[in-house]
């Protein structure tokens, strides 16, 4: 056994050790197996694990497995090696889950997005240079910076073997909507998004999208909102992994004392976005 039935203060330590066990097990352990290791009943372990991580043991194992298979494919391993290395017992189950995990077919992901067409446009906004890119599912990247060429290189790094093509007239309208949203955030952004990330990241990103314009939350509060009060660092990491600037508003997360911390596109842009949102008037359509 890992240890006897723990006191409440020991739950974090116990669950952390169980998480490491899940991560190193050749196949996802069952709830009964984990309960036996912990010295708890399956029901009690299920409650303790979810209270500590915000996920059930099964969901945690699935999220870790998804992350592992993405890493295996990104390193150039074959699809077969990746799926079995990540603990999938049958390739049919993997292929059923692959679109949600990878955002594309496993073969295309392994090849860096080969045979995937990404439309993009470069422009200027109130925060400097901006790049907007989209797959056939929706906007998959909004990048901010000081140099258009650097932004294009960043897009190529995200989709190294995808076919990058300039946006058409319809896509230019999408670009205009994003730029307009940066300038007047209360108008909202009504565009389809192609959000790619682990289940944990997507959970954090969805919580970010629920933060109202003109308000902020702390990283600790965001962790509580996704049911992970002890995972502040992991939540901050998910914010940093966001590649959809403003559409997924990670700039609305601040330190507990209200001060600004790191931002993928620079703290100055974070400050400017928050100030713009605070000053932006409510959007009132023209009555005509």
Confidence band, pLDDT 50/70/90 cuts, at residue 17: confident
Tokens found for residue 206: 């969805």
In this predicted model, what pLDDT tens digit does every residue of 57-97 receive, in sequence order?
888 887 777 666 666 555 544 555 555 555 555 455 555 55
Backbone angles phi, psi at 244, to 5 degrees: -115, 75
Residues serving a catalytic function are: 250
Collapsed DSSP state (helix, strand, coil) of residue 216: coil
In this predicted model, what pLDDT tens digit does every residue of 126-149 receive, in sequence order?
899 999 999 888 899 999 999 999
The Cα-based distances of 128 to 183, 219, 243, 261, 266 in angstroms read 12, 27, 16, 20, 11
Backbone angles phi, psi at 255, to 5 degrees: -70, 165
Collapsed DSSP state (helix, strand, coil) of residue 145: strand
Whole-number average pLDDT of the chain: 79
Pairing of strands 128-134, 117-125: antiparallel
Segment (H or E) for 276: helix 267-279
3-state helix, strand, coil in the chain (%, to 5): 50, 10, 35
Tokens found for residue 165: 């093509």
The confidence score (pLDDT) of residue 270 equals 94
The confidence score (pLDDT) of residue 102 equals 56
The confidence score (pLDDT) of residue 230 equals 83
pLDDT at position 284 over 60: no
CB count within 10 Å of CB 126 equals 13
pTM of the predicted structure, to 2 decimals: 0.63
């Amino acid at each position: 056994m890992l240890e006897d039935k723990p006191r409440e203060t020991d739950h974090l330590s116990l669950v952390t050790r169980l998480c490491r066990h899940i991560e190193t097990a050749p196949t996802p352990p069952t709830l009964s197996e984990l309960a036996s290791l912990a010295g708890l009943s399956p029901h009690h372990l299920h409650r303790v694990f979810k209270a500590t991580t915000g996920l059930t043991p099964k969901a945690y194992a699935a999220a870790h497995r998804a992350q592992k298979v993405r890493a295996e494919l990104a390193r150039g391993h074959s699809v077969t090696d990746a799926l079995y290395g990540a603990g999938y017992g049958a390739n049919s189950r993997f292929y059923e889950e692959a679109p949600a995990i990878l955002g594309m077919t496993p073969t295309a992901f392994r090849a860096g997005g080969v045979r995937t067409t990404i439309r993009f446009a470069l422009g200027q906004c109130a925060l400097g240079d901006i790049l907007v890119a989209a797959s056939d599912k929706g906007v998959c990247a909004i990048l901010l910076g000081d140099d258009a060429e650097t932004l294009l290189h960043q897009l190529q790094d995200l989709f190294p073997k995808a076919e990058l093509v300039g946006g058409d007239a319809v896509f230019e309208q999408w670009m205009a909507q994003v730029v307009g949203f940066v300038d007047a955030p209360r108008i909202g952004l009504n565009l389809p998004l192609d959000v790619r990330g682990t289940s944990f990241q997507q959970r954090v990103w969805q919580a970010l999208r629920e933060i109202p314009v003109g308000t902020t939350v702390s990283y600790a509060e965001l962790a509580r909102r996704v049911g992970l009060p002890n995972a502040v660092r992991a939540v901050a990491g998910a914010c940093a992994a966001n590649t959809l600037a403003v559409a997924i508003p990670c700039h609305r997360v601040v330190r507990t004392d209200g001060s600004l911390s790191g931002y993928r596109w620079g703290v100055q842009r974070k400050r400017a976005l928050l100030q713009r949102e605070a000053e932006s008037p409510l959007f009132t359509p023209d009555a005509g």
